[in-house]
Amino acid sequence: MKRKMLFLMVVLSLIVSACATPAPVAEPTASGPTKYAFWHSMGGSNGEAVVEMMKRFNASQTACIGEAVFQGSYDDSLNKLKAGLQSKDIPAVVQMFDLATQVLIDLQVIAPMQEFIDADKFSLADYETNVLAYYTVGGKLYGMPYNTSNPMLYYNKDHFKAAGLDPNKPPRTYAEVLDVAKKLTKKDGDKVTQYGYSMAIYGWFFEQLLAASGGLYLDNGNGRDARATKAAFNGPEGVKILTWWKEGYDAKVFGNFGRPTADTQKAFDAQQTSMIIESTAGLRGRLNASQGKFELGTGYLPRPDEAAFKSAGTIIGGASAYIMKDRPKAEQNCAWQFIKFTTSPQIQAYWHTASGYYPVTKASYNIQEDKDWVAKYPQFLTAVDQLHISPNIRATQGGLTGVMPQARQLTEVAIEEVIQGKATPKEALDKAADAVTKAITDYNKTVK
């Protein structure tokens, strides 16, 4: 921890705080088109879609030639970005996960997206309000949402039918999930052959359930009214989540396939569990895996009660595109043109159908490509509807602090301690909250 803080202090001391002033339009230079790099963390079919979008952008104009460069995981990309700051080996634009928002702001390495928006008199009227809210700090939009998602319930409709349950009525509350899971679970003696419900031990899921309960992750309005100084996730809402989780696990109707979300996905695809919580970004994968085997259903993320569906909601997940402050102005302008292109309705419709991430602009749903896709796979509408019913409040805007990756890991430890019977939900969350608060205190001391 001390080494990480020391590194951050060194980096902060090396960064020049002046912000570049963007021009609204990119134009070819005397030497030809401006070349720039876009670092991203999309692998597999999603990575292929990113490359396709870059090809379409390059073909749409003559001023800029961009290259999409895969950098590994979000953590890998962030580490490479930090390492490249001193040598200036950084891209013009980078896709970075939601947890890095405060870190990038504090490092002073990004030119706020708001500057480009204002200089270009660019309208955000069609952009999803809740999506923009996550990356808006102090009234400024720092990153343009690039790939956005939220978690939802996936369930096996065939299992529902076999258990005498309505396949078109997924459970909505904690109590309903537990009750339905008991009816779906199958055993061979003491061995469970089919769990009713499973959820990876993933801190993001805890954050989402907390927000959907109306609880705050951090003090000072989730770190948005003022810089966060301590953790707040150990309140009644957080305790209730782990109490429910533990109850289902002890009843042997909630499966535990560990931390990797891929392992829980595989269990669901293999019909070893009837319901799971997973990101909307995994919908394409679940559709492909279930084809010819069972009918896939989707539902909203469970809430503690029905009232929470009106008073709270999910947080957006995924990543945003950031323009780097210390790249040449011509590269910055190309990056801005690329961002506008990729968030246009036509391209967002393509991205939605190719990846499963939902569009950041509402007009995308009117594009025929998107209409045809949703008509064929109505499960995609669940994520969109869930986004639109979520109020734009501090709980749904997500926690904002420079230690979110570490905080997420600490909550995962707390979940494991509860499931394993090593601590009560309150004890485990209090312990994690104390550790997160200390990390926040240490981090804040390094920030100018």
Going along 240-399, which residue ranges are E strands? 254-255, 275-279, 296-299, 317-324
**Overall average pLDDT of the 1-21 stretch:** 38
The pLDDT assigned to 23 comes to 36
Of 412, 398, 415, 432, nearest to 312 by C-alpha is 398
State how far Cα 114 lies from the chain centre. Answer: 21
Cβ neighbours for 429, distance < 8 A, ≥ 6 positions apart? 233, 234, 238, 239, 242, 411, 414
Going by pLDDT thresholds of 50, 70 and 90, the confidence category of residue 119 is: very high
- Say whether pLDDT at 22 is over 70: no
- Say whether pLDDT at 162 is over 60: yes
Q: For the segment 72-91, what is each residue's pLDDT rounded down to a tens digit?
A: 999 899 999 988 888 888 99
Cβ neighbours for 335, distance < 8 A, ≥ 6 positions apart? 36, 38, 66, 92, 93, 321, 323, 324, 327
The pLDDT assigned to 126 comes to 95
* Superfamily the domain 2-148+316-390 falls into: Periplasmic binding protein-like II (3.40.190.10)
pTM flag (> 0.85): yes
Q: What is the largest CA-CA distance in the chain?
A: 77
Strand partners, 323: 93, 111
Whole-Å CA distances, 305 to 218, 235, 284, 371? 23, 17, 29, 33
Q: For the segment 177-197, what is each residue's pLDDT rounded down to a tens digit?
A: 999 999 999 999 989 999 999
Q: Is 28 helix (H, G, I), strand (E, B) or coil?
A: coil
The pLDDT assigned to 86 comes to 81
The pLDDT assigned to 314 comes to 96
Q: For the segment 369-427, what is each residue's pLDDT rounded down to a tens digit?
A: 999 998 999 998 998 999 999 999 999 999 999 999 999 999 999 999 999 999 999 99
**Overall average pLDDT of the 288-300 stretch:** 97
In the structure encoding, which two tokens stand for residue 118, read together? 């204002």
The most confident of the ranges 85-89, 157-161, 282-286, 353-357 is: 157-161
- Say whether pLDDT at 257 is over 90: yes
Average pLDDT in the chain: 92
- Say whether pLDDT at 271 is over 60: yes
Percentage of the chain modeled with pLDDT above 70: 93
The Cα–Cα gap between 399 and 394 comes to 8
Percentage of the chain modeled with pLDDT above 90: 84
Structural domain boundaries in the chain: 2-148+316-390, 151-314+403-446
- Say whether pLDDT at 15 is over 50: no
Cβ neighbours for 387, distance < 8 A, ≥ 6 positions apart? 128, 130, 131, 150, 314, 316, 358
The pLDDT assigned to 185 comes to 98
According to CATH, what is the number of the domain 151-314+403-446?
3.40.190.10
- Say whether pLDDT at 115 is over 60: yes
β-strand 140-141 against 144-149: which pairing, if any? unpaired
Confirm whether 2-148+316-390 and 151-314+403-446 share one CATH topology: yes
